[in-house]
Amino acid sequence: MPQDREIAIDVRDAVKRYGTFAALKRISLTIRDNEFFTLLGPSGCGKTTLLRMIAGFEDVTEGAIYLYGEALDTLPPYKRPVNTVFQNYALFPHMNVLENVGFGLEMLGKSKAEARARAGEALEMVQLSQFASRKPSQLSGGQQQRVALARALAPRPRVLLLDEPLSALDLKLRKSMQVELKHLQRETGITFIFVTHDQEEALTMSDRIAVMSEGELQQLGEAREIYERPRNVFVADFIGDTNLMEVTVDKVSGGRAQCHLGGGHSLTCDAVDGVEAGARVHMSLRPERLFLSAQPAEPGSLPGTVRETIYIGTDIATIVDLEDGPQFTVRSSNSTRGNARVFEPGQNVAVNMETGAARLLAD
């Protein structure tokens, strides 16, 4: 991905305080032009606040936000070339679908004819042309969602803000909308800023993800980077499933750390900066990067006993108690080709890991 692309949104040291409560604690980040950017975090992490600050519904207590180099400052929402897809869609109930979609264009001073024509195009883009004369209440949730999308896209904003737009849809519909959204973003070339608490959704759709927690930016990067190289305990725990445990560092050399965990089991991890021998730190091990084999354990693997096997469908998860040590979850693909041997509870097994599977984390 080219790093020198134009910057769409530049958030510099933005702080948002409500009285004494800080919803955003000095956040700085840049969002590139034509990017699918996701703000990800649990509820109350400040992601929606940041989105509403970009839209102009909340003012910035300290710091500044720039849109294509221009300071947004006190610009009211109706003067920002930014449109929002609201969580509850907020379709105007007294207008039909076409009037809803054409509203922004009309307010921009376009002629009635042009507004209608361009609203029609936007409806075509979301495949709802045949519903143009319906009222929003006569549509299903998924259709309302697409109308909200068409309404926000019709004025051709420079940046589209999406505030958890898929959270009210059922799983199947949500999955297909994820693909459609990604497709729309590519097709229109508009910068999308997507807010969600669903990490899977974020990983599926985003070019880059900003993980937030308690008003702070935890990590910013591409999906793969965030999943495979989480910077701290929060990110490792929030994104995907992981085996998170405390280890003691014995030796650090060449970016690798020799560690041991409870029960005296030792393993080699990717180190993080500033870790020294003797430190107690957290370690993350993704379950799918572990695999089981029958005992006796080879050197470097960890001996244990199967406690439970869980059938998930695509995968099989096995929970293993290490000898005198912590519990591990191991996940293997449920495929006939694979070497996934299913072990029974009570069987003695060895837990093996791919090189680089274990990562030490900052707190």
Partner 1 sequence: MAKPHDLRRYPGFLAITILCLVILYAPLMVVAVYSFNASASITIWEGFSLRWYADVFTGPESAKYRDAAWNSFIIAITAATSASIIATLAATAVLRSGKFRLRTVSIGLISLPLMVPEIVTAVATLIFFNALAFERGILTILLAHIAFCIPFAYMPISARMQGIEASYEQAAMDLYATKRMAFTRILMPLMMPGIVSGFILAFIISLDDFIITNFVKGAGVETLPTAIFGAVKQGIKPNIMAISTLLLLVSIVMVALSWLIGRKDQKT
Stretch that binds partner 1, among 73-81, 139-147, 195-203, 226-234 (CB under 8 A): 73-81
Site residues for partner 1, window 239-278 (CB under 8 A)? none
Q: Is 77 near partner 1 (CB under 8 A)?
A: yes
Distance CA 132, CA 141 (A): 16
Q: Is 137 near partner 1 (CB under 8 A)?
A: yes
- List the end-to-end C-alpha distance of the chain, in Å, as a whole number: 30
Q: Is 2 near partner 1 (CB under 8 A)?
A: no
Distance CA 29, CA 51 (A): 13
Q: Is 179 near partner 1 (CB under 8 A)?
A: no
CB-wise, 103 or 238, nearer to partner 1? 103
Q: Is 92 near partner 1 (CB under 8 A)?
A: yes
Distance CA 326, CA 120 (A): 60
Q: Is 130 near partner 1 (CB under 8 A)?
A: no
CB of 105 to partner 1, least distance (A): 9
Tokens representing 11 are 């958030």
Give the count of alpha carbons within 13 A of 147, CB side only: 31
Find all residues with CB under 8 Å of 343, minimum gap 6, and list them. 292, 306, 309, 318, 349
Distance CA 283, CA 361 (A): 6
CB of 207 to partner 1, least distance (A): 24
CB of 38 to partner 1, least distance (A): 20
Among 36, 103, 234, 328, binds partner 1 (CB under 8 A): 103
CB-wise, 52 or 282, nearer to partner 1? 52
Tokens representing 269 are 């991890």
Q: Is 82 near partner 1 (CB under 8 A)?
A: yes
Distance CA 332, CA 237 (A): 20
CB of 145 to partner 1, least distance (A): 14
147 neighbors 95 (Cβ within 8 angstroms):
no
State which amino acid sits at residue 170: D
Stretch that binds partner 1, among 65-73, 78-86, 259-267, 293-301 (CB under 8 A): 78-86
Find all residues with CB under 8 Å of 97, minimum gap 6, and list them. 123, 128, 131, 132, 133, 134, 135, 136, 139, 147
Residues that bind partner 1 (CB under 8 A): 55-57, 76-79, 82-84, 86, 88, 90-94, 103-104, 107-108, 135, 137, 151-152, 155
